[in-house]
Structure 1
């Protein structure tokens, strides 16, 4: 499935349009080629990095957009993450660059959140959303495709986006990676620095919370009302720890 941002737009147009502004290593390939002070090895390294990174920038922006909650911060996060990825590109020896790059995006966002938290720039965690009902809903299955199937079947893109935005970050990120990015449990575990069993448990709880929120919104819509979206939960889980209730 193609990535979809929190605003409903695809991230790939942003990725292709903004990549030259990122300038990994401080210069684009064209600029490197035009400077005699840069070696051909540097230019080749930059080319290889672009070939590796560009196909995954839409996914990187998509993840950053959902984590940060706004486009401006997401762009800053992705640009910083790409700079970091380029800096450590020589240490990458994996088969797939996608989970490696997304893990850097996640870590970059968490670092920025810590900085803002220490300077009181981040909104407080929404405890009421964290304590949302975990119980399954009559008539709803928690099969992996249910939230996505509901989206397609009912064409409620806006409602699903609003419901996703209400989820705590640790639930939202695994849903985005699994349902919108079609990533494997193994790759999600690598990105979030979690055991695979924890990823699966967290996904189950996230789907139940999402179903609860969607049911409430659909009921409000059928009654002719509109339910205002709660503020997006911004507090991140530290990379690695297991949330209470995770297996």
Structure 2
């Protein structure tokens, strides 16, 4: 597959109109709406960078940007999705450029492999939280997930680990919902393929396809 070289993108998701918060309101939003998600933010950053120091830097950078541009956040909306989008954009613009991974997935190439019949099956892809990886705790699952190309790894993390909806993922990733579905479908299949040997050893049926 070909390499995708992402253009510089807007890092801060802008609201339709900015809000003038006073200092007390800014601190309250930061502490009440942003800080509760810091662990999830670190986990996401680590899965993207595969490095503790880079993950910490990415999270710190994200929170600095979030506070600096807090007027672009609409109080009471989905703060977690807003932060994840900033982190994802920062990763693309900076950390991903320095990534040791040799290539990125060309989604256009992947998506053209699906005909209309296959696309109809996307909605029936079983959520990984309730199938092969259920109760499978260990290095095997983490290793399989980490071995996926970063772009496929991202949709798995957002949906099956962080629990974002398709609509939220579309906003975080700046792609149509239909594209989210096809990418997630492909990513889950790739991950399940990697887990088949381990799943069989644990007594799971891997011959359902």
Q: TM-score, normalised by structure 1?
A: 0.60
RMSD: 2.9
Please report how far the alpha carbon of residue 43 of structure 1 lies from its aligned counterpart in structure 2 after TM superposition.
4.1
Q: Which aligned pairs between 1:71-110 and structure 2 lie closer than 5 A?
A: 71-93=52-74, 95-110=77-92
Relative to structure 1, the CA distance from residue 194 to residue 165 in structure 2 (aligned partners, 3 Å threshold; closer, same or farther) is: same
Q: TM-score, normalised by structure 2?
A: 0.70
Distance 1:162 1:175 in 2: 14
User: Equivalent residue of 2:175, what SS?
Assistant: coil
Please report how far the alpha carbon of residue 126 of structure 1 lies from its aligned counterpart in structure 2 after TM superposition.
7.6
Match of 1:124 among 99, 102, 111: 102
Q: Which aligned pairs between 1:1-247 and structure 2 lie closer than 5 A?
A: 41-93=22-74, 95-113=77-95, 115-116=97-98, 122-125=100-103, 143-146=125-128, 148-153=130-135, 155-218=136-199
Given that 1:147 and 1:211 are in contact with CA atoms closer than 8 Å, whether structure 2 keeps it comes out as: no
Relative to structure 1, the CA distance from residue 147 to residue 92 in structure 2 (aligned partners, 3 Å threshold; closer, same or farther) is: closer
Distance 1:51 1:180 in 2: 22
Distance 1:114 1:173 in 2: 13
Given that 2:104 and 2:151 are in contact with CA atoms closer than 8 Å, whether structure 1 keeps it comes out as: no
User: Equivalent residue of 1:152, what SS?
Assistant: coil
Given that 2:26 and 2:67 are in contact with CA atoms closer than 8 Å, whether structure 1 keeps it comes out as: no
Given that 1:178 and 1:188 are in contact with CA atoms closer than 8 Å, whether structure 2 keeps it comes out as: yes
The runs of 5 or more residues in structure 2 that have no matched partner are 1-21, 119-123, 203-209
Given that 1:61 and 1:75 are in contact with CA atoms closer than 8 Å, whether structure 2 keeps it comes out as: yes
Given that 2:104 and 2:150 are in contact with CA atoms closer than 8 Å, whether structure 1 keeps it comes out as: no
Distance 1:96 1:151 in 2: 28
Please report how far the alpha carbon of residue 112 of structure 1 lies from its aligned counterpart in structure 2 after TM superposition.
1.9
Q: How many residues align?
A: 168
Further displaced range: 74-83 or 86-95: 86-95
